[in-house]
């Protein structure tokens, strides 16, 4: 289907939603999920979901800052070599990619709430256990489990957040998650500045993981399953119960009985669907964008503390010596300033996506980021270097925000989480390459790290300019087209 036909179809769908009065022979009103969500409106229910899911994802990006910040302390305590530092810095990202590729389809099959609850329980146990690790091997192993869990939680939260409201407001969920997640990077850096040198890395990890336990309790006790998932999986009675619960929270009223007009599809979580001709081009381009984006985002997250601790001058001069160093408070403060760019990116990415559209936003952010990376080849003052990293992180994270808005719009409910997990796994692999290459190259020839960042920015830019699909006004779909 070409873009023009898709646009015509979406206009027809929107016009169909005007009629709210259709009934069947039993005088039970028949409504689509879009009609029901229009009646429910946007209110307390959606805000609770969005904030709660965003808090869960806050831990995903906080993890990057935690590890990159405490690694000098682990180096001193356990005498870590460059190889072990690389393994500890990248194993969470690698197993997160593995978890996304292998297990992200499970929420499409068994439900968002059930799999998110299981993942959160293991995530809390594994992270808390890492604070108790007595040596580098124990620390490495439990962080592998943390990565597997994160491979499920992040894409599930993104999918969940888009499925609790009508299509015209589906961008708010991913934007909120990105805002909280990127804010998590900034808050973690601030807490590191305030607490790390005084309470030590073990208590610092426990402080950072404590919100996960609260999220687990709230999810189990208070929040219903995604109505869209329940409807497409054939559980329409449970879907209606969840919709009534949301309507009550929003102080609106739904008819007691509603015939939900959505086709059930038992072939849920099929990874082959995201590679079929209808989605193949977009899946490949989004995977390339995610790979390049997270290579730079995670790579700079590891690179910046190293550069601030040892000094960086455009990759010029002799490679720094790998040794035990004391973490300076001014370096932690500068790290906090740079990570604040990630917090701003959620708002900037959302604003651009809503005004310029998704396709143009891709092109603007990627092109500007590619140009800025070339300034890293010059030797500037420490303040100017901090500013450059701030700008790169802002642009690249804003591009990532737009990507997270596009993916749920593109794929139907039946394999939305599978697509998010698959594409996100490529991003986490980019994070593995970025973080690992920083350690491998920085102590050998720092200029090669800058070359890697420029090359990744070029990959994202090319993929963005090849991208042609605009999803801004597309109505969210629940099942594959052949099932309707």
Q: What is the mean pLDDT of each run of 10 residues along the chain (484 residues)?
A: 43 36 60 86 89 83 78 87 84 87 86 91 92 93 91 88 84 82 77 86 90 86 87 86 90 84 62 78 93 88 68 57 61 67 80 91 95 81 76 88 87 84 89 83 78 93 94 72 49
Cα(52)–Cα(237) distance, rounded to whole angstroms?
Answer: 25
* Beta-ladder partners of 362: none
> Do residues 430 and 291 touch, judged by C-beta distance below 8 A?
yes
Q: Which residues contact 247 (CB under 8 A, 6 or more apart)?
A: 39, 40, 45, 253, 254
- What 3-state class would DSSP assign to 396? helix
CA angle 466, 422, 267 (to 5 degrees): 110
Is residue 62 within 8 A of residue 116, CB to CB? The reply is: no
Residue identified by tokens 């965003």 is 54
pLDDT for the residue numbered 221:
85
In 3D space, the residue among 139, 44, 35, 156 whose CA is nearest the CA of residue 85 turns out to be 139
Closest to 165 (Cα-Cα) out of 93, 243, 217, 107? 243
Q: Please report the pLDDT score of residue 235 as a whole number.
A: 86
Calpha distance 233→235 (Å, rounded): 6
HSE of 442, CA atoms in CB hemisphere, 13 A: 28
C-alpha span between 226 and 53 (Å, rounded): 12
Structure confidence at residue 364 (pLDDT): 96
Dmax of the chain from CA atoms? 82
Measured torsion, CA atoms of residues 239, 245, 249, 253, in degrees rounded to the nearest 10: 90
* Helical axes 136-162 vs 172-191, angle rounded to 10°: 150
Structure tokens that stand for 204 in this block: 């610092």
pLDDT of residue 3: 47
- DSSP string spanning 206-272? HHHHHHHHHHHHHHHHTPPPPHHHHHHTT-HHHHHHHHHHHHHHTT----SS-EE-----S--S-GG
Instruction: Provide the pairing of β-strand 259-260 with 30-31.
Output: parallel
**CB 291 within 8 Å of CB 428:** no
Q: Residue length, the chain?
A: 484
> Which residue in this structure is represented by tokens 């964008």?
289
User: Given this model, what pLDDT does residue 17 score?
Assistant: 37
pLDDT (0 to 100) of residue 320: 57
245 three-class SS: helix
Phi-psi region of 447 (alpha: psi -120 to 50; beta: other; left: phi over 0): alpha
CB contact at 8 A, 175 and 54: no
Rounded to whole angstroms, the Cα distance separating 245 from 468 reads 39
């Amino acid at each position: 289907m070409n873009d023009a036909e898709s646009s015509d179809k979406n206009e027809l769908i929107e016009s169909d939603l005007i009629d709210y009065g259709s009934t069947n022979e039993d005088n039970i009103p028949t409504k689509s999920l879009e009609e029901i969500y229009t009646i429910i409106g946007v209110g307390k229910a959606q805000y609770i979901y969005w904030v709660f899911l965003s808090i869960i994802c806050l831990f995903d990006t906080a993890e990057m800052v935690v590890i990159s910040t405490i690694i000098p302390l682990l180096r001193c305590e356990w005498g870590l070599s460059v190889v072990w530092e690389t393994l500890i810095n990248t194993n969470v990202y690698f197993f997160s990619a593995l978890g996304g590729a292998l297990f992200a389809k499970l929420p499409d099959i068994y439900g968002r709430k059930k799999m998110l609850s299981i993942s959160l329980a293991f995530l809390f146990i594994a992270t808390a256990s890492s604070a108790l690790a007595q040596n580098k091997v124990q620390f490495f192993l439990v962080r592998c489990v943390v990565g597997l869990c994160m491979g499920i939680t992040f894409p599930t939260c993104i999918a969940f957040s888009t499925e609790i409201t009508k299509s015209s407001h589906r961008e708010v969920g991913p934007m909120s998650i990105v805002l909280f997640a990127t804010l998590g990077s900034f808050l973690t850096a601030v807490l590191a500045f305030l607490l790390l040198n005084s309470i030590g890395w073990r208590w610092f990890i426990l402080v950072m993981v404590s919100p996960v336990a609260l999220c687990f309790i709230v999810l189990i006790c208070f929040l219903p399953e995604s109505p869209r998932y329940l409807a497409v999986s054939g559980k329409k009675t449970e879907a209606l119960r969840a919709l009534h619960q949301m309507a009550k929270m929003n102080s609106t009223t739904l008819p007691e009985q509603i015939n939900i007009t959505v086709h059930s599809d038992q072939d849920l979580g099929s990874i082959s669907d995201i590679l079929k001709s209808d989605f193949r081009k977009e899946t490949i381009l989004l995977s390339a964008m995610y790979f390049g984006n997270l290579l730079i985002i995670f790579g700079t997250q590891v690179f910046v503390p190293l550069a601030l601790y040892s000094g960086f001058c455009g990759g010029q001069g002799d490679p720094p010596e790998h040794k035990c160093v004391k973490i300076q408070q001014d370096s932690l403060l500068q790290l906090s300033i740079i990570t604040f760019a990630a917090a701003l990116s959620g708002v900037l990415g959302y604003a651009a996506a809503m005004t310029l559209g998704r396709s143009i936003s891709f092109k603007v952010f990627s092109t500007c980021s590619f140009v800025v990376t070339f300034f890293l080849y010059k030797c500037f003052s420490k303040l100017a270097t901090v500013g450059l990293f701030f700008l790169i992180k802002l642009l690249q994270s804003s591009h990532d925000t737009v990507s997270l808005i596009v993916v749920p719009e593109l794929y139907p409910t039946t394999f939305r989480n599978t697509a998010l997990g698959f594409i996100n796994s490529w991003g986490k692999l980019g994070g593995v390459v970025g973080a690992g290459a920083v350690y491998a190259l920085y102590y050998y020839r720092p200029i090669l790290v800058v070359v890697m960042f420029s090359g990744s920015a070029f990959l994202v830019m090319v993929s963005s300019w090849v991208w042609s699909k605009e999803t801004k006004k597309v109505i969210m779909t629940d099942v594959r087209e052949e099932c309707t």
